[in-house]
Each structure stands twice: as C-alpha cells, then as structure tokens.
Amino acid sequence: MTIEGENHCRTIGVALPIPEPYGSELQDWRRSFGDPLADAIPSHITLVPPTEIKDGSDHHYVQVQEHLAAVAASFPRFRVHLRGTATFMPVSPVVFVALAEGISACERLSMAIRTGPLPVELSFPYHPHVTVAHYLPDEAMRNAFKTLAGYEAVFDAIAFSLYEHGADGFWRRERDFHLAPDGDVLAERRGGERRLEAARRLTSGHPGVGARPDAPSGGDGGGDRPGARSRPE
C-alpha cells in the first residue's frame, strides 16, 4: 500500500501469521463466536502492537522494513505449539489460544524488533497468544473458552509479517520476513507448560470466563494485536 504525502501516517503491526490450515480454522471459530473483528484481523501472534509511523522525508517506513529484514536474517526459526484456552480477564475481556511452546522465542523476537527505528514501548508485559474472542458478551466469551479448551496445533515459525491497517478497518499482510534458514528449527526449553500451570494456580476459582478451579489466565491484557483499531486491540 503506497500513499503519497510528507505528513501521511500509517498504522502498522508486526506479527507471526498462523499458517494454514490453522489460521483459517481459528478465524472461522472466532467468527462463529460472533466476534465482528474476525474478518478484519487474520489469525496471528503479535510481536509489535499497532504503531503509527510517519511517511516523511526521513523515509521512516523504509527504515522500518530494512530493520525487520535485518532482525529476521539473524533470528533462527522456531517451533510453536498452540494448546488450550486462557483469558486476560478481568484486566481485559479477551479469550485466546495459549502457547505451550514458543513463548520465549516470541519474547526474544519481539524485543529484537522493538529496537532501532521501531522502539515501541508496551502498555502491558508481553504475552504471546492468539485471540479468538474480544469484547463479546459474557456467554460468548464462556463459549469460546470452553469450545477451544482442547484445541491443539503445532507448526514451525519460518517468517513474521508486516501488517498495515486500512481505512476500511481491515488489517492486511504487506510483507513477509523470513527467519534464518540455517540450522535446525529452534526447539526452546520447555517453559511454556510450567507458565501455563502457574497461571492456572493464580486464577484458581476466578469468577470470570470459564469459571472453574483450573481456569487459566493470561498476563498482558493486550488483547488482539495487530488490531487495535477496529477495535482490534
């Protein structure tokens, strides 16, 4: 997408796209829960939330893309294991599919990207996730939480993508940045399972979504990214 003008601002986000068939599958589930953002936001794991950058004489947008390419070229591919649901309630009305593997790799990748020409400060601690319901009635949130409680998918993250928010409220994937192909896929140490169990203990008995003794909870309250603008979090 190219728009002329020294003062034109564009809203971008950086995320790991969820590959097929899982991406469309999770988007279909989100639509079935009645989330109006399902068609506007492709399934993803946010690395950088919605951020405004200016198209000016300093060519900031070009610098950002060069920076993303450099980060991708130096970062190894890694495995992502999606499993079960969790929630950011009561901090934020979000139900998401959680990561059992790939958390630390996403954290490191997000930190590497949020440097140089893209020094984005986060409003909440970073917590990678895939949103499946956001700002819906309580019954719909409970339905999303319970329906996908047994969901599971495993894939290799081989690229992250630059997204741009359009005037029509839709987020579009503008460019992919492939991670370093050399060597084996990075299999991170098994920290994801312990972190999910810790979250379940902290929220034991919480009266919110999926109220039950083992109801898990997230920790960044950030909702869906890149998407806060349609109210894509």
Please report the domains of the chain, with CATH numbers, ordered by start residue: 8-202 (3.90.1140.10)
Q: What is the pLDDT of residue 44?
A: 98
Q: What is the pLDDT of residue 1?
A: 44
Q: Please tell me whether the overall predicted TM-score, pTM, comes out greater than 0.75 for this model.
A: yes
Q: What is the pLDDT of residue 130?
A: 98
Q: What is the pLDDT of residue 50?
A: 96
Q: What is the pLDDT of residue 171?
A: 98
- Nearest C-alpha neighbor of 161 from the set 42, 36, 20: 42
pLDDT tens track, the chain, 233 positions: 444 455 678 999 999 999 999 999 999 999 999 999 999 999 999 999 999 998 765 689 999 999 999 999 999 999 999 999 999 988 889 999 999 999 999 999 999 999 999 999 998 899 999 999 999 999 999 999 999 999 999 999 999 999 999 999 999 999 999 999 875 555 554 444 454 454 444 334 433 333 222 222 333 445 564 433 443 34
Residue type, 143: N
Q: What is the pLDDT of residue 184?
A: 53
Q: What is the pLDDT of residue 210?
A: 33
Q: What is the pLDDT of residue 111?
A: 96
- Burial of 25: CB neighbours in 10 Å, binned 0-12, 13-18, 19+: middle
Q: In what helix (H) or strand (E) does residue 79 lie, and over which residues does it extend? A: strand 78-87
Q: What is the pLDDT of residue 55?
A: 72
Where does the chain have alpha helices with state H?
A: 22-32, 60-74, 103-113, 138-147, 192-202
**Sheet with 130-134, side-by-side order of all strands:** 130-134, 94-101, 78-87, 152-157
